Amino acid sequence: VVEGNEAGQALAADTAALSPQMLLSIPVAQALAVIGDRWTLLAIRDVFLGFRRFEDLRRRGGVARGTLTSRLKALVDAGILCRVQYQLAPPRDEYRLTEKGLGLYPVILTIWRWEQRWGGDQELPRELVHRNCGQRMEPQFVCSECGEEVAIGDTRYTLGSADRQLAPVPPRSQRRTRASASAETDVDGEVFQVLDIIGDRWTGLVQAAAYFGLRRYDDIAATLGIATSILADRLKLLVHEGIMERRAYQLRPARYEYRLTPKGRDLYPIAVAMHDWARRWLVADADTIIRLEHRPCGSVLVGRCICSACGEELQPAAVRFARSNPGTATPPAQ
């Protein structure tokens, strides 16, 4: 059992059970393997925002045609999007979310919430209005059992035994998606977005290691089993962006540990939303790999997104985006 506490710290004896294989097998890592790519996430986000046609998606994301084609195909193959013909002559298709795709709504809403608080994504609508109560609101990510907001210090993890783990997700090319982002778009490449964290596999896994309480450089390196140059690069980025802070815990010789800042800790609901989605749609028996328990109520943690004004669970068709910036559309009626 690995317990989070106020410092996001876990007992060393428990984290010793972590291994690269374990970390790559957890549902969040498996979700990252499907949607953890900057262009994929942008496409999903924009379809949720109501943009369904290839040309609209291409213009909004500022993405190369071939890149978008391959990402949309992968999303159709993964059963997240489906193609629907909207015109016969000449034949034209648009992309719609399947039930599995609509299941990503809490992921999109928790991303929106974080960007509003900490980020700089100018493409996101500034305000959300809940149609059912008519009020402006912020999505809140709460425990579906007790209704408390999900916070990093309130979760207890139980790791499964190694023989019950699924095969790890095969590694993908280790590109820095952020670099390709600035090359392919007109968007200011210096604007850091949450997509830069979860849209890059290793950055996401460094975050996951932090959730398990790993803080020391050597422990993180050993657990992730990645090249030290990649790890150093990702930690530097996370420190630069204020997600983590670096502290010396020993002076001679100098040794450093990395702790999540409040900005970093606030990313946690996104990880739980991704865990929930993977648990429902990707990974059979997810709880035998890792079981999340909500400490305040003692139940298996399953989150849900509710309206901060009325407390109702948020559904895609019931949320309206205020048209406060150009290019904002009405939400899809699915």
Binding of Zn ion by 309 (CB under 5 A): yes
CB of 224 closer than 8 Å to CB of 205? yes
Neighbours of 236 (CB within 10 A): 12
How far from the centroid of its chain's Cα atoms is residue 238's Cα? 15
Paired residues of 83 in beta bridges: 95
Rounded to whole angstroms, how far apart are CA atoms 230 and 211?
Answer: 19
Which of 206, 272, 274, 307 is close enough to bind Zn ion by CB under 5 A?
307
Give least dist CB 110 to Zn ion, A: 17
Residue among 180 and 308 whose Cβ is closer to Zn ion: 308
Q: What share of the chain is helix, strand, coil (3-state, %, to 5)?
A: 45, 20, 40
Give least dist CB 155 to Zn ion, A: 10
Binding of Zn ion by 142 (CB under 5 A): no
Residue among 12 and 146 whose Cβ is closer to Zn ion: 146
Residue among 139 and 264 whose Cβ is closer to Zn ion: 139
Phi, psi (deg, nearest 5) at residue 117: -80, -40
Binding of Zn ion by 151 (CB under 5 A): no
Q: Between 104 and 133, how does the x/- string for binding to Zn ion read (CB under 5 A)?
A: --------------------------x--x
Binding of Zn ion by 146 (CB under 5 A): yes
DSSP string, 275-292: HHHHHHHT-TTHHHHEEE
Residue among 64 and 297 whose Cβ is closer to Zn ion: 297
Binding of Zn ion by 143 (CB under 5 A): yes
Peptide bond into 91 cis (omega under 30): no
Q: Between 176 and 205, how does the x/- string for binding to Zn ion read (CB under 5 A)?
A: ------------------------------
Q: How would you class 303 by CB atoms within 10 Å of its CB: exposed for 0-12, middle for 13-18, buried for 19 or more?
A: buried
Binding of Zn ion by 310 (CB under 5 A): yes
Residues near 283 by Cβ (< 8 Å), separated by ≥ 6?
Answer: 27, 30, 166, 289
Q: What residues from 271 to 300 belong to the interface with Zn ion (CB under 5 A)?
A: 294, 297
Binding of Zn ion by 329 (CB under 5 A): no
Contact residues for Zn ion (CB under 5 A)? 130, 133, 143, 145-146, 294, 297, 307, 309-310
